[in-house]
Amino acid sequence: MRRAHVPKFSVLFFSFAAALAAALPAPDADDGGLTLPPGFRALVVADNLVVGKKSGNSPERLRFLAVAPNGDLYAKLVRGPILALRDTDGAGRFDLIKEFGPGDGGTHIMFHGGYLYHSSRTAVYRYRYTPGELVPTSPLETIVRDLPAEKDHDAKAFAFDESGRMIVEIGSPFNVFSEGDRRKGAKGKTDAEVAEFQKTYGGFWRFDPTKPNQTQADGTRFSTGHRHSLALQWHPTSKNFFMVQMGRDNLNIVDPVHYDELDNAERVSEVMHLLREGSDLGWPRTYWDPIKKAHLLAPEYGGDNFKRAEPDPYDQPVVAFPGHWAPLQMTLYTGTQFPAKYRGGMFVAFHGSWNRAPRPQAGYKIAFVPFNEKGLPTGAYEDFATGFPGVDYFVNTRDARYRPAGVAVGPDGSLYVSETEKGRIWRIVYTGETAPAVARNPGRLTAAPTIALVGSDTPGGKIYAQLCAACHMPSGGGVPGMHPALTGSAIVAGDPARLIDVLLRGPAAVLPPDREKFGNVMPPLAAVYSDADLANVITFIRKNFAAGAAEVTAAQVAARRAR
């Protein structure tokens, strides 16, 4: 029988592919619980890095990743030091873990120009990187210090252009810059107030990273009109920065007449922008509606779910993701291990929504954004890694097992992914296997259990659904790091006078300063709700989340209000 002719290049290709596969670590049988495209596998390379760790009364969280040229991995803790991880035995998992750094937490970390850069809430630092050194022995340099950092959106993202110039984001401490932020009837600030505010917040500032101890005054405002963005990356082909902004929240709470829960869940996009010097993205006056494909006026600035910014002076997004997915780290795929379609594209880690309730939460994935040969996004995106929650349908964020945060490319082209809640890190590799990934993940839950609340149709239950459930969740479970749980809360179950004061004056004015801190802080409600309304919602909360706690009357609220 005549032998089939095999072209020489095919032999070389398959030999190279076999060698590559042999060099890769063995994946986990279940891909670490992830669902991936055909040909991709995954393994857990570190786990439980933050379980049981606290800073004061606040639990620790794992954030962004950076990979050294030799494959060592560096991970930021949101409140503590940097973790340095190394595979010492070649088994493909990190068995040596060291801690270092100033210990003031933060989010962003990356290698650039022979340095390991990282940021805290108020500063950007760097260490000179010595090849092969796991923990830097070089002195810590402070590049930018004393940056503004308030209660919300205080993490500092940064990136470098081809000339080595660094841009740093200073996010807005508001959902929308308004009087009564996040509350019913909130009103936007005046044009003069917005202009003054944006001299300090809501944009990127450019700095020279060769100069130490700069402050914001030493920087140049690069762009404005931002709410908050941590997903930031330079593309060397198009020579542009790209970023994904976190869209606004609480449409239906601010204006329940014109917006309902479905509008809040679906009408505000997380948007990718090509970030040019001088860009204005439209916050706080507008938001991007992915269905109407337009900048709509925010309800705080006269919007009614229909009014557009006309004429529209703001930068248009290049990709529109669904609402509230919460983009965190973004990385350019610079490797060659993955198939050609991924090269030069961006991977975005989405932490997942918390404020789509009572609708199902969404996001919790790694998405891929393809770029063309000119280094520009095609306008599309696709799911790359899913399965992080371990459940397909859930309303309460605590039902999610994992929440993605960091994503970084290793020197061999592997993709590393971190998650915040337990501190798990995956390594995703391409093996070319054809078996569907979902077949390796049997037994996943299809829906989380639901909890029926008593008195949902009462006045207090209706206020809870409209006001409280979006943050504390319908079940009272809260959002880790964002909003406290009501279930099991000593404040809910304890002295009713203290609970009344919390709602009237806000927790920051009532509770001790050493309490556990959360990303979002409830504002005072005294000017928004009557004594009867507050009594009704407090009674509903105590009846459902503090068994046996006494009801609260309007007279009790009035007495505390008069103090």
User: In this predicted model, what pLDDT tens digit does every residue of 241-296 receive, in sequence order?
Assistant: 999 999 999 999 999 999 999 999 999 999 999 999 999 999 999 999 999 999 99
pLDDT for 2 beyond 50: no
Whether pLDDT at 17 is above 60:
no
The model's confidence at residue 20, banded by pLDDT at 50, 70 and 90, is: very low
Confidence of residue 18 (pLDDT cuts 50, 70, 90): very low
Lowest mean pLDDT, pick from 323-337, 439-453, 476-490:
439-453
- Judged against a pLDDT cut of 60, whether residue 439 lies above it is answered with no
Is 444 a residue whose pLDDT tops 70? no
Among 530, 484, 525, 520, CA closest to 503: 525
Between the CA atoms of 335, 339, 341 and 343, what dihedral angle is there, to the nearest 10 degrees? 10
Instruction: Give me 95's structure tokens.
Output: 């068995």
pLDDT number for residue 433: 86
For 316-340, write each residue's pLDDT tens digit: 999 999 999 999 999 999 999 999 9
In one-letter notation, the amino acid at residue 110 is M
Q: Would you say 83 and 75 are in contact if contact means Cβ atoms under 8 Å apart?
A: yes
Calpha distance 287→307 (Å, rounded): 11
Residue 72's alpha-carbon distances to 5, 119, 233, 328, 414, in angstroms, are 44, 19, 21, 22, 13
Beta-carbon contacts of residue 449 (< 8 Å; ≥ 6 apart): none
Spatial separation of the C-alpha atoms in residues 232 and 158, rounded to whole Å: 7
Residue with tokens 């009344």: 500
Residue 302: CB atoms within 10 A of its CB come to: 11
Number of other CB atoms surrounding residue 442 within 10 Å: 7
How far, in Å, CA of 299 to CA of 560, rounded?
32
How many whole angstroms separate alpha carbon 210 and alpha carbon 165? 9
pLDDT at 436: 58
Q: Round to whole Å and give the CA distance between 393 and 133.
A: 44
Whole-prediction pTM: 0.88
Residue in 266, 296, 293, 431 with CA at minimum distance from that of residue 359: 266
pLDDT band at 434 (very low <50, low <70, confident <90, very high): confident
**pLDDT over threshold 90, residue 58:** no
Confidence check: pLDDT of 561 > 70:
yes
Residue type, 530: S
| pLDDT-based confidence at residue 19 (cuts at 50, 70, 90) | very low
Identify the pLDDT of residue 280.
97
| pLDDT of 475 | 86
* 433 or 188: which leads in pLDDT: 188
- Cis peptide leading into 69, omega within 30 of 0? no
Positive or negative, the CA dihedral 466, 470, 475, 476 is negative
Q: What gap in Å lies between CA 118 and CA 101, rounded to an integer?
A: 9
Q: Per residue in 265-274, pLDDT tens?
A: 999 999 999 9
- Rounded to whole angstroms, the Cα distance separating 143 from 161 reads 16
Listed in sequence order, the DSSP H helices in 238-279 are 251-254, 261-266
Q: What is the pLDDT of residues 170-183, one digit of tens each?
A: 999 999 999 999 88
- Residue 126 pLDDT > 70: yes
Look at domain 459-561 and name its CATH class. mainly alpha
Q: Where in the chain is the domain with CATH 1.10.760.10?
A: 459-561
Tokens of 537: 């919602």
What's the confidence (pLDDT) of residue 54? 87
Which of left, alpha, beta for 120 (phi over 0: left; psi -120 to 50: alpha)?
Answer: beta
Look at residue 482 in the predicted model and tell me its pLDDT.
78
Rounded percentage of the chain residues whose pLDDT exceeds 70? 93
The chain-wide mean pLDDT, for the chain, equals 91
Identify the residue with better confidence: 471 or 80.
80
Give the rounded percent of residues in the chain with a pLDDT score beyond 90: 76
Position 468 scores a pLDDT of 86
Residue-wise pLDDT tens digits, 499-526: 999 999 988 889 898 888 787 778 888 8
pLDDT digits (tens, 9 = 90+) for 216-245: 999 999 999 999 999 999 999 999 999 999
Compute the distance between CA of residue 163 and CA of residue 223 in angstroms, rounded to an integer.
18
pLDDT of 437 over the 60 cut: no
The residue whose two tokens read 């998405």 is 367
3-class DSSP state of 143: strand
